[in-house]
Amino acid sequence: MRNILVWVGGTALLAATAIDTLAVAGRNLGMPILGSIELVQGAVLVSGTVALVLATLSGGHARVRLVTDHLQGLPRRLLASAARIASVSLFAALALGSIWLAADLWNGHERSEVVGVPWRVLRLVANAGFLACALIALKQIMIGRPRP
């Protein structure tokens, strides 16, 4: 599964780079590519969502250890547990809020102005990513997986 996610996220990032490169070249050659910004936004959303899920799977989110590195035993474990619970809470809140917005705007059939990128599809990608992160983080708490 990780390999598939890496390929999807990497392909989306390469697509964003290629689109933007072509857009810059086109502007300099007097042949602008209309809608390139919209396409780059969609590709970056996909790559960012995949990166968020992969970071959650590997326990690789950024942490500040200024206090926890000076603690031992129970206080350190309690702070680590609080951080895990905060992660689940954050991802769950993002998922719930994003799903709520998507449901509210679902029948709006929103599309980007120039190319017609369907925003509801991109909202589904973001919602799936937030929900996956919340469930992965919750599973890591339940099985007691230590954070690196």
Tens digits of residue pLDDT in 86-121: 999 999 999 999 999 999 988 888 888 888 888 899
Q: How many domains does the chain have?
A: 1
pLDDT at 145: 60
Does the residue 148 lie in any domain? no
Domain range spanning residue 88?
2-143
Residue 147 clears pLDDT 80, i.e. is over it: no
Does the residue 35 lie in any domain? yes
Average pLDDT over residues 58-79: 80
Does the residue 30 lie in any domain? yes
**Would the CA dihedral through 134, 97, 94, 46 be positive or negative?**
positive
Does the residue 139 lie in any domain? yes
Residue 146 clears pLDDT 90, i.e. is over it: no
Average pLDDT over residues 39-47: 95
Work out the mean pLDDT of the chain and round it to a whole number: 89
- Whole-structure pTM value: 0.83
Asked if 15 contacts 9 with a C-beta cutoff of 8 angstroms, the reply is no
Does the residue 135 lie in any domain? yes
**Would the CA dihedral through 129, 5, 53, 9 be positive or negative?**
negative
Give the integer Cα–Cα distance in Å for 8 and 5: 5
pLDDT at 127: 96
Q: pLDDT of 116-132, one tens digit each? A: 888 899 999 999 999 99
Residues of the chain above pLDDT 90, percent = 59
